[in-house]
């Protein structure tokens, strides 16, 4: 008894049955929403088993009637068979429809919940995971769960019941023959268990590799201009070819596993057929079995052996789905931001009054190996403009990320007026700030759509006025379709200056009291820089503003210039005060202006 218990425990451990509980518990609430469809599928499952047994009974009786020459019974059975075929066809249709409906609805709900959760994940998660990998979760992984919520799951319920019913019927026909054929059952079950374990392991590797392939494709398409400029088409193609070859090798390994199992399953079916036909023929010669019973027995053997063989294939498909669910669980288990904006309408976020910004002894690092800000303190007064200057890596952009709570400081506090931002919801905090990045991101859609992201309930006149304030209205009207012009992916159809002014228009429309500007004029020509700078100055009026300055000429009139280096403030003051100190700011200024003449700024023209 102890030995049997130990064998059961080892078998469960080998098959990793305990590991199925969490994935199945994860999917259960989704399937439970559509319990009526699943209840209908269970009823149809029993109906299908009944139909299969009926056609075996039909074969047995019509054969015996034909051997006896009972034409009246043959006619009756043919009519019954036609009616049964119609009913069976209707059940097949209902089964297909209910199964597809339930599966697609579960997938839709899971996609919605997964995407909603992804929108709430902290910025740090996006920094550590490629966008292609995230897209793979919403496509490959969600599509891969079908086996666990539909075909494989229902089949794994149906086939054992079918085998049990077939065995009972077989015993009813001839119990001696039935027991002999049952000797093949353990072999079929064991081979299926081994196949399922191997397929699950390989499925995990395939899903992981598909995510990496999607990440590579995302990079290739996003960086296609760089690829062409550096003539990287061939090496990039080779890399993609290598990844596809590796994927093919994985898929072929799965195909070989399935192939060997198919050989075994086919051999088991053939042996069962020959055994039942040979011994059955002997029983017919001994008049202990009719011809109809023999044909029914052989037919039933397929319902006994095929389900047990089919269980292995279904188990393998089920395990592939479990591997996909585990990947989805991993994402869903990532801790999300505590304050969700999904429940807050875009137009309902409370815009706060103009506020001062205070950084009190803030220390922060993106990882434990390096500190970006060290005991940093700074106050930005209400309605004033503070410019941040310093070499790359000084921590300037990090301040913007912390102010918007994309990241949280390791120590210290950040306040609006005297209220810690931790006490504000994400909606309250971020609706009070407008951010204009150096690298403008435009969504695929029209210019109107992109400006309207500043405030989704804005009227047409407000959108146009925001464009005018951003010096964008004239160039928009000059485009073939005006405000309905498509920007293309990431705004590829527009110039840098045009994209920047649309981003400023978006910030103007938001009308937030706090402005965060990662100055975006460093890569623009002088003419376009003037237009962008003029729009920025208009936007900054009466707002609490933090500016990351790259061109020092653009911040000479700032209320305060803060010079940063290695996460700390090394100088601060007005432009002329800092020049007189002859410190880091003065050195940076000389590098920009004493070695080259300042550009001549013209007020005419568009970029």
pLDDT tens digits, one per residue of 223-251: 665 676 566 778 888 888 888 888 888 88
Q: What pLDDT sits at residue 606?
A: 40
Query: Average pLDDT over the chain, rounded to whole?
Result: 78
Alpha-carbon distance of 405 to 423, in angstroms, equals 12
Burial 383-397 (b: 16+ CB within 10 A, else e): bbbbbbbbeeebbbb
Mean pLDDT of 112-129: 82
Q: Which two tokens stand for residue 366?
A: 């993106």
Beta carbons within 8 Å of 484's beta carbon, 6+ residues apart? 446, 447, 448
Question: pLDDT at residue 128 above 90?
Answer: no
Question: pLDDT at residue 16 above 60?
Answer: no
Mean pLDDT of 89-98: 90
Among 387, 420, 443, smallest CA distance to 562 is for: 387
pLDDT above 70 covers a percentage of the chain that reads 80
Q: Quick one: the chain helix, strand, coil %, rounded to 5?
A: 65, 10, 25
Burial 220-259 (b: 16+ CB within 10 A, else e): beeeeeebeeeeeeeebeeeeeebeeebeebeeebeebbe
Neighbour tally for 121: CB within 10 Å: 16
Residue 479, burial from CB neighbour count under 10 angstroms (0-12, 13-18, 19+) = middle
Answer with the residue of higher pLDDT: 50 or 198.
50
Question: pLDDT at residue 511 above 50?
Answer: yes
Neighbour tally for 94: CB within 10 Å: 15
Beta carbons within 8 Å of 269's beta carbon, 6+ residues apart? 302, 305, 306, 309
Q: How far is CA 359 from CA 78, 355, 410, 545, in A?
A: 88, 13, 13, 14
Locate tokens 């060290």: which residue?
Answer: 374
Answer with the residue of higher pLDDT: 197 or 58.
58
At 61, is the secondary structure helix, strand, or coil? helix
Answer with the residue of higher pLDDT: 27 or 301.
27
Beta strands in 154-304 (DSSP E): none
- Tens-place pLDDT, residues 130-176: 777 788 788 888 888 887 887 777 777 787 788 778 778 777 777 76
- Tens-place pLDDT, residues 447-486: 898 898 888 888 999 999 988 888 888 889 998 889 898 8
Q: Which two tokens stand for residue 282?
A: 């002997």
Q: Are 500 and 532 in contact (CB under 8 A)?
A: yes
At 453, is the secondary structure helix, strand, or coil? coil
At residue 312 the predicted structure's pLDDT band, cuts being 50, 70 and 90, is low
At residue 415 the predicted structure's pLDDT band, cuts being 50, 70 and 90, is very high
Q: What pLDDT sits at residue 347?
A: 46
Question: pLDDT at residue 379 above 50?
Answer: yes
Domains of the chain: 25-332 (1.20.1560.10), 433-511 (3.40.50.300)
Burial 508-523 (b: 16+ CB within 10 A, else e): bbbebbbbbbbbbbee
Question: pLDDT at residue 604 above 50?
Answer: no
Q: What pLDDT sits at residue 603?
A: 34
Question: pLDDT at residue 597 above 50?
Answer: no
Q: What pLDDT sits at residue 3?
A: 47
Alpha-carbon distance of 491 to 474, in angstroms, equals 18
Alpha-carbon distance of 192 to 251, in angstroms, equals 19
pLDDT above 90 covers a percentage of the chain that reads 8
Answer with the residue of higher pLDDT: 32 or 259.
32
Q: What pLDDT sits at residue 90?
A: 92
Question: Model's pTM, two decimal places?
Answer: 0.70
């Amino acid at each position: 008894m102890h030995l049997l218990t130990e064998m059961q425990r080892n078998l469960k451990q080998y098959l990793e049955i305990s590991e199925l509980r969490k994935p199945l518990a994860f999917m259960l609430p989704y399937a439970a929403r559509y319990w009526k469809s699943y209840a209908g599928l269970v009823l149809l499952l029993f109906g299908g088993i009944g139909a299969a047994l009926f056609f075996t009974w039909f074969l047995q009786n019509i054969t015996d009637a034909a051997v006896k020459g009972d034409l009246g019974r043959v006619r009756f059975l043919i009519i019954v068979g036609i009616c049964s075929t119609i009913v069976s066809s209707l059940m097949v249709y209902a089964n297909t429809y209910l199964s597809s409906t339930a599966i697609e609805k579960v997938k839709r709900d899971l996609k919605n919940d997964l995407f909603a959760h992804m929108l709430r994940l902290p910025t740090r998660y996006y920094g550590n995971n490629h966008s292609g990998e995230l897209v793979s979760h919403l496509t490959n992984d969600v599509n891969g769960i079908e086996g666990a919520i539909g075909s494989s799951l229902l089949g794994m319920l149906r086939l054992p019941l079918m085998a049990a019913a077939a065995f009972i019927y077989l015993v009813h026909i001839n119990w001696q023959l039935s027991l002999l054929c049952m000797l093949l059952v353990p072999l079929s079950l064991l081979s299926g268990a081994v196949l399922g374990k191997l397929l699950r392991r390989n499925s995990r590797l395939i899903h992981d590799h598909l995510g990496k392939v999607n990440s590579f494709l995302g990079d290739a398409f996003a960086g296609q201009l760089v690829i062409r400029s550096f003539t990287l088409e061939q090496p990039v193609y080779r890399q993609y070819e290598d990844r596809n070859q590796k994927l093919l090798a994985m898929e072929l390994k799965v195909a070989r596993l399935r192939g060997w199992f198919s050989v075994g399953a086919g051999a088991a079916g053939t042996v069962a057929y020959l055994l039942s036909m040979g011994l059955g023929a002997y029983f017919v010669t001994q008049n202990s079995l009719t011809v109809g019973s023999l044909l029914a027995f052989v037919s039933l053997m397929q319902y006994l052996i095929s389900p047990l063989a089919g269980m292995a294939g279904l188990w393998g498909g089920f395990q592939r789905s479990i591997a996909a669910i585990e990947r989805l669980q991993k994402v869903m288990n990532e801790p999300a931001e505590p304050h969700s904006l999904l429940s807050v309408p875009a137009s309902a976020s409370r815009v706060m009054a103009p506020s001062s910004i205070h950084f009190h002894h803030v220390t922060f690092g993106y990882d434990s190996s390096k500190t970006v800000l060290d005991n940093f303190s700074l106050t930005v007064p209400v309605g004033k403009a503070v410019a941040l200057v310093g070499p790359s890596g000084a921590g300037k952009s990090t301040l913007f990320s912390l102010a918007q709570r994309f990241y949280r400081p390791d120590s210290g506090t950040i306040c609006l007026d005297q209220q810690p931002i931790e006490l504000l919801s994400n909606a309250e905090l971020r609706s009070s700030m407008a951010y204009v990045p150096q690298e403008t991101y435009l969504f695929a859609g029209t210019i109107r759509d992109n400006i309207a992201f500043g405030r989704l309930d804005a009227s047409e006149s407000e959108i146009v006025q925001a464009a005018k304030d951003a010096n964008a209205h004239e160039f928009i009207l000059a485009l073939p379709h005006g405000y309905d012009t498509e920007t293309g992916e990431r705004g590829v159809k527009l110039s840098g200056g045009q994209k920047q002014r649309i981003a400023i228009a978006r910030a103007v429309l938001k009308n937030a009291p706090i402005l965060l500007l990662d100055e975006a004029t460093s890569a623009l020509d002088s003419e376009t820089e003037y237009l962008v700078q003029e729009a920025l100055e208009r936007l900054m009026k009466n707002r609490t503003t933090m500016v990351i300055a790259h061109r020092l000429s653009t911040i000479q009139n700032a209320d305060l210039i803060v010079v940063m280096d290695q996460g700390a403030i090394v100088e601060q003051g007005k432009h002329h005060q800092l020049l007189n100190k002859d410190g880091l700011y003065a050195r940076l200024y000389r590098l920009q202006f004493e070695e080259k003449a300042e550009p001549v700024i013209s007020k005419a023209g568009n970029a």
